[in-house]
């Protein structure tokens, strides 16, 4: 899963191949059939272990309560059914791969919940000097996915992204151009910075890098210093359910 691959690869390895990408968006799953974040009643409890999702939820409605929500998909859905939370979010790609997409109340578009960098993409890593394997996996590569993932990971690298910082970034190819959107935010949603850019497919990595640099300039050094200084409890702002 490319979403979980470290920003910087071990020496002597490459990621030359991405399989065709699944839907990158997040599934919104609610107990009462609500399909939009904006329609959640004030004070609703949302189960998520993702700072990216938490930040975007609380930017839209600061009264929402995000609680640390862990366990496999079945466990999370059972907690929802038991009334532990009012709603939760999961990658629709994962639900589709488990043939559980019907559990989704709605699938959120970028304007409502920007997905994680490389969400929905599968990659194949290989040793740099393994020419035989590189030749075989080259035939499996989906170039559109590969270009978009490289753009998104360049964005992440420019931000020196880590698990404390809510970061979202997505690229897609539209009419022969690469379109990118990215954001960073405070975990509690009190501040959010966004960037958008469009350019040539050949410039995908440069576009991602410049987008990351743009957000660093917007947010300023103080934002990132605060992220580094925050304790795990301050970052999460959650209770475990």
Strands of the sheet with 45-47, listed across from one edge: 65-67, 45-47, 87-91, 26-30, 106-108
Q: Please count the other Cβ atoms lying within 10 Å of the Cβ belonging to residue 223.
A: 17
Which helix (DSSP H) or strand (DSSP E) does residue 225 occupy?
A: helix 204-229
Distance, CA of 33 to chain centre = 24
What pLDDT does 71 receive? Answer: 86
What pLDDT does 239 receive? Answer: 41
Residue 4 bears catalytic tag: yes
- DSSP code string of 48-100: ---HHHHHHHHHH-TT-EEEB--S-HHHHHHHHHTTS-SEEEEEHHHHHHTT-
What pLDDT does 232 receive? Answer: 52
What pLDDT does 163 receive? Answer: 56
Catalytic residue among 4, 42, 102, 175: 4
Q: Which residue has the tokens 């995908």?
A: 204
What pLDDT does 196 receive? Answer: 98
Q: By the 8 A CB rule, do 26 and 93 touch? A: no
Which residues of the chain, if any, have pLDDT below 50? 238-241
Q: Rounded to whole angstroms, how far apart are CA atoms 28 and 109? A: 10
pTM of the model: 0.91
């Amino acid at each position: 899963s490319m979403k979980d691959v470290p920003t910087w690869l071990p020496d002597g390895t490459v990621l030359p191949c991405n399989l065709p990408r699944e839907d990158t968006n997040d599934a919104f799953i609610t107990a009462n059939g609500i399909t939009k974040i904006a329609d959640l009643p004030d004070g609703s409890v949302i189960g998520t272990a993702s700072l990216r999702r938490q930040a975007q939820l609380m930017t839209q409605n600061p009264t929402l309560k995000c609680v640390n929500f862990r366990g496999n998909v079945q466990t999370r859905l059972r907690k929802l059914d038991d009334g532990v939370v009012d709603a939760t979010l999961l990658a629709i790609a994962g639900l589709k791969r488990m043939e559980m997409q019907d559990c989704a109340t709605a699938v959120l578009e970028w304007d409502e919940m920007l997905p994680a960098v490389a969400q929905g993409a599968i990659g194949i890593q290989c040793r740099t000097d393994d020419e035989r394997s590189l030749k075989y996996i080259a035939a499996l590569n989906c170039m559109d996915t590969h270009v978009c993932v490289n753009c998104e990971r360049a964005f992440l690298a420019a931000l020196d992204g880590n698990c404390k910082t809510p970061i979202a970034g997505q690229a897609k190819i539209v009419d022969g151009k690469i379109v990118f959107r990215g954001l960073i935010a405070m975990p509690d949603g009190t501040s959010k910075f966004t960037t958008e850019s469009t350019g040539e497919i050949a410039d995908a990595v440069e576009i991602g890098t410049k987008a990351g640099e743009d957000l660093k300039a917007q947010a300023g050094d103080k934002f990132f210093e605060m992220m580094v200084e925050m304790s795990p409890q301050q970052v999460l702002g959650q209770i475990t359910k």
